[in-house]
Amino acid sequence: MHIDIIGVPMDLGQSRRGVDMGPSAIRYANLREKLEGLGHVVEDKGNIEVPILETCSVTEPKLKHIDCIVPIARRVAGAVAASLQRGRFPLVLGGDHSLALGSVRGAAKQNRVGVIWLDAHADFNTHETTPSGNIHGMPLAALCGLGDPRLTALWNETPPAINPQRAAILGARDLDAREKDNLHQAGVLVIGMEQIDRIGMLAALEQCIERVSRDMDGIYLSLDLDALDPRFAPGVGTPVPGGLTYREAHLACEVLAGTGKLIGMDLVEVNPILDEKNQTAELAVEFAGSALGSRVWVE
């Protein structure tokens, strides 16, 4: 496989500083070496240009930094679409999760895609339901056609970018009350930690894969490192106790790789300032490896 690494050092979509250093931390954790060791051809495309927060003003409290985020999302969408057009696998490094406004949309420009959102949060708020105004809590809703028109359509395209019936959130455990209403109305599949505990990770994954891949060309995985329990991934801005274990997260990536349908991937919300010895970035590299073919074979 030919893999394009695309960095998005953005911290405009959330409130805690430091996540803009995530792409550097993941690269430092030997991402390229890991993927090349699996036999892939890897090209690092560098970083998408992102302005520093101090140059972006908050003109709309319910849509913080939207004037800066939308142009970045357009650049990300273009980079991902171009990667797929060349027959490559885009691996997008964040940065906060608002970058998925561009990455998933870029994938959807080239393919009919279903999306698996591996995250402690649903990111399904709109400007009308958000308690914070942080856009990293809105990207999946916008991709499904809900919210401010500047987020649901980056250009003049007709939303939604993805069919809500082909989106699945896995590992959720921190949802806002009005966000739940949005999810119910849209018909997005949500499998939270309670259900994973009841039925097991493999059964939960199979439900997600069956839902999002039906009649689609491929699956896009957007992996927020806060999906894991903070014991394993301390370097995230919005940690929530009771998350996925190390092995459950690996299993998710391994099973998705085994479908042969994975066409692109985000690794987001790695915050080196809050991390311990780059532990969370190293996990991100391991999960990228699992999603792209790394296995431990037992005879």
Two structure tokens written together for 183: 């999810």
Largest CA distance in the chain: 60
Has 229 been annotated as catalytic? no
C-beta neighbour count of 43 within 10 angstroms = 14
Has 96 been annotated as catalytic? no
Q: How far apart are CA 258 and CA 292, in angstroms?
A: 9
Has 65 been annotated as catalytic? no
Has 54 been annotated as catalytic? no
Has 226 been annotated as catalytic? yes
Q: Which of 65, 97, 127, 250 is catalytic?
A: 97
Q: How far apart are CA 171 and CA 248, in angstroms?
A: 10
Q: Which of 11, 20, 65, 121 is catalytic?
A: 121
In DSSP terms, 222 is beta-bridged to 117, 266
Q: Which of 20, 224, 266, 275 is catalytic?
A: 224
Q: Which of 119, 148, 254, 286 is catalytic?
A: 119
C-beta neighbour count of 184 within 10 angstroms = 10
Per-state percent for the chain, helix, strand, coil, to nearest 5: 45, 15, 40
Q: Which of 20, 148, 174, 269 is catalytic?
A: 269
Has 123 been annotated as catalytic? yes
**SS3 (DSSP) at 215:** coil
Q: Which of 11, 20, 96, 123 is catalytic?
A: 123
Catalytically active residues, by annotation: 97, 119, 121, 123, 136, 224, 226, 269
